[in-house]
Structure 1
Amino acid sequence: MNIVGIDVGYSNLKVAYGRNETPSPKTILRPAGAAPEDRFGSRLDGKDSEEFLRVVVNGKKFIAGVSPDRAQMWSRSLHAEYSSSESYQALFKAGLLLAGMEQIDMLVTGLPVLQYLDEQRKKSLINYMTGIHEILPGKIVDIKKVKVVSQPIGGFLDFISRSNEDIEDASILVIDPGFFSVDWVVISNDEIHKHSSGTSLTASSVLLEEASALISKDHGTGISAEMLENAIRQNKTTIMVLGQRIEIAPYLRIARKSIGPVITEEIQKSLRNENKMVDIVVMVGGGATFFMEAVKEAFPRLKILLTQDAVFSNCRGFWMLGAASE
């Protein structure tokens, strides 16, 4: 069977794809910027930008899979209705394009925890993704079956497939820091404890906005959170401000100290519903390193584990769930 695990994030598009009989999927990472074609500038040499992924959404030509700050006069989707937006649909189709399959037997994706608990939202997403999709004129992808899970579950499945950690009888807190939200679930005896799981909107986007404000305060000019996001994505350590290079790390460090405890306080409050304290904390997702220090400080007696290549952890787990399905 052709299996696709797709994580259409607010910052990155992650795709894991391959046949179910293969031991592991191929993975692709692209920025989660998407907007109508006419919102993008042209190259100086007049050639088409190689990184542009062109798709059609509701009859309109879109470009997807690029840094969000590339689009002009287009508002980025940072809200709970993201999964029904045209930008999301463009990124979803871009993911199908990257997977290169004309027929997908099982596609698995995720939603933030609180959105996943909304049955109508979940059904709407399944209905949208199932069936025939026109990616471009003459290019069709047929998706036979779709499964939607809560976002951190993908990361947890990826973790247990790659770890030799003894988790039998353990109560595990899985934390998935994303760009729009930080999601967490408690898993014990192969069951999700819904009342101890949740979503916080104090996420990576808020941390970057705080760092951006600190830079602006020190240097007297505005620096967008998207500029910081793009620099970090490219593993840059500095950013240009008024013609001078400034180090990013000190501002991120201060922002983490400010924002991190807000998130861990929300998580700790939700854990009051548990009969016993969790045994292990597993960090998954692309923003895991941003909040690792805060989580360690909040749970000093617990083992804090980070998945390998954490940015791909959810989509790899989605793929594994799909590959295990009949």
Structure 2
Amino acid sequence: MLTVGLDIGYSNLKIVYGDNTEVSPKMIKRPAGAAPLDHLGQRIMGNDDSLHVLVDGKEFAAAVSHDRIENWPRELHKDYTATESYRALFNAGLLLTEMSEIDCVITGLPTNQYLDAELREHLTKIMRGEHQITPRRKVVVHDVKIVPQPLGGFVDWMHGLDDPSQIEDSSVLVVDPGFFSVDWVLLVNGEFKRASSGTSLDATSVVLDEAAAMIAQDHGGNPGRSKLENAVRAERSTVSVFGERIEIAPYLADASAKVGHIACSQIQESLRKENSSIDQIVLVGGGAPFFEASIKEAFAKTPINLAKEAVFANARGFWRGGAA
């Protein structure tokens, strides 16, 4: 059975795919920029690594850094799944698998959007069926499953436990800090507790905006969110401001503390009606390092489990759940 775990984020596109008989699936991460081809800046140094895909017959460049796109809006809103950019990234994900036929695609939605049954049904219809992803390439997707985004991280964490039965009666909080939103789900006795799960918009993009403003205050120039985002993605420790290399770690730490406190307060508020304490917290997603300290402070007595290669945790869990 050929299964694809697809995490189409606001900053990164993550694909985990392979046959369900495989122990270690293939994993790919690309930037989540997408726009019509004529809105892509021409690269004069280095190779053009953009993927060219079709969306309703229109040629798009996909899986590129957002700062390469000109005069095309960055989709940073709750209707992301309804945009052409999202569909271009979906087609790019299919292209990267090199498959012509896929048994099941599993993907996630922010927790509050997952609760919208009409949205789940609409997204399933968009993803299922035959897709003309390039002029000469079609991909058939036979089945689609939509889950709450952090649930992938929970499945991935469970897979790594020596004895999963030890947490059968546990309350597990999965926190997924992404670029657009911080999502969390509470699982008690393995059941999804909707009333205590939710979404905060005080997410990684807000951390980067805050850090950029702090840099501007100290150095007189704002590097902008995109420059910081690219530096974090490439694991660079500095950005250029007026020709000077500025260490970003102190600014990211201060911004993370400020924004993380707000997000953690929202998580705690959603849990106020729970009678029992949280036994385990699983921290997943590309923004996990920004929020780890705040979560440890807010839930000082609860063990925190930071996912290995946290940016892939949800997509890995989607694949593991679909391949099971």
Q: Percent identity?
A: 52
Whichever residue aligns with residue 206 of structure 1, its letter is V
Opposite residue 152 of structure 1, the aligned amino acid is P
Task: List aligned pairs for 1:16-27, cutoff 5 A.
Answer: 16-27=16-27
Gaps of 5+ in 1: none
| Residue of structure 2 equivalent to 1:31 | 31
Task: Tell me the CA shift for residue 74 of structure 1.
Answer: 1.5
List alignment gaps of at least 5 residues for structure 2. none
Taking the aligned partners of 1:253 and 1:322, their CA distance within structure 2 comes to 36
Give 1:215's aligned residue: 215
Determine the structure 1 residue equivalent to 2:320.
Answer: 320
Whether the 8 Å contact between 2:3 and 2:17 is mirrored in structure 1 is yes
Where in structure 2 are the equivalents of 1:1-326 lying within 5 Å? Answer: 1-44=1-44, 49-164=47-162, 166-324=166-324
TM-score by length of 2: 0.97
> In structure 1, what is the Cα distance between the partners aligned to 2:142 and 2:253?
46
Separation in 2 of the partners of 1:33 and 1:55? Answer: 13
Give the Cα–Cα distance (whole angstroms) in 2 for the partners of residues 136 and 301 of structure 1.
Answer: 52
Q: Distance in 2 between matches of 1:38 and 1:218?
A: 38
Q: Is the 8 A contact 2:8 2:32 kept in 1?
A: yes
> Which has the higher mean CA deviation after the structures are superposed, 20-29 or 105-114?
20-29
* Distance in 1, Cα, partners of 2:53 & 2:131: 11
1:279-308 per-residue CA deviation (whole Å, 9 max, x = no partner) reads 111101111111000000001111111111
> Partner amino acid for 1:157?
V
Give a deviation string over 1:191-224, Cα, whole Å, max 9, x none: 0111000000110001101001111122222321
Give how far 1:59 is off.
1.7
Matched residues in 1 for 2:319 and 2:9: separation? 16
**Separation (CA, whole Å) in 1 of partners of 2:117 and 2:149:** 15
8 A Cα contact 2:223 2:239, kept in partner:
no
* Offset at residue 169 of structure 1 (A): 1.4
Give the TM-score normalised by the residue count of structure 1. 0.96
SS state at 1:83 partner: helix
| Distance (whole Å) between structure 2 residues aligned to residue 312 and residue 79 of structure 1 | 22
Does the 8 Å contact 2:168/2:190 carry over to 1? no
The 2-side partners of 1:27 and 1:54 are apart by 20
Distance 2:16 2:273 in 1: 35
RMSD of aligned residue pairs (Cα, Å): 1.2
SS at match of 1:273: coil
Aligned residues: 322
